Structure 1
């Protein structure tokens, strides 16, 4: 009987868990794998976490245009049904370039997060 009660509670939590989670805006971090250096290959990373529901779009931009061939991790969830994703792309920063991560959560107005090369 205990196994049945446990299984029922787990099933109920799985069904109700996503519906009781509150909408949460994403927390965004934009950084590079290595310290920024003009003319040297690097990896631009945009880590988005703590959001719910999982409907989200992440774009890595160079001078306002999406950078092709970026990689994105699989959607993963944290406690309380909040999610996280990481998107990255190889890039070579030049002095005149500006890099950013644009995040659109639940078809709301996109937000732009600027990469600070710290150079």
Structure 2
């Protein structure tokens, strides 16, 4: 009986490992640290969470071009071996510019636009 229980436990453990390795796309949040104001210094942030496997890149974009000087957190894992990653950069938004975050997970890119609106100057 003891051997049966041990074998059953090992079998269940083996079944749970593949479940944790199923591809899970990231949940992405794009936001600024402070409320938006034209020409005011702010921080543009992109946070990806809940993804697996950890093969991911985050690019912060202004009008489709990557912003230089961005900083990225270390890749960290959550429960069930899902991961999270944050990238941010200082910016001063100007009227007409479009800020976005391009997240590529497992070779599949998705672009998320910074979602606040400011009236014209």
Asked if these proteins are the same fold (TM beyond 0.5), I'd say: yes
Under a length normalisation based on structure 1, what TM-score does the superposition of the two structures give? Answer: 0.82
User: 1:52 and 1:77 mapped to 2: Cα distance?
Assistant: 9
Aligned-residue offset at 1:113:
0.2
Alignment of 1:4-23 (within 5 A): 19-21=18-20, 22-23=22-23
| Bigger radius of gyration | 2
Partner of residue 91, structure 1: 91
* Structure 2 gap segments, 5+ residues each: 1-12
Structure 1: 5+ residue stretches without partners:
1-12
Query: After superposition, where does 1:18-33 map in structure 2 within 5 Å?
Result: 19-21=18-20, 22-33=22-33
Q: Which secondary structure state, in structure 1, belongs to the residue aligned with residue 95 of structure 2?
A: coil
Shift of 1:18: 6.3
Q: What SS does structure 2 have at the residue aligned with 1:84?
A: strand
**Residue-pair matches, total:** 106
* 1:117 aligned residue: 116
Match of 1:60 in 2: 60
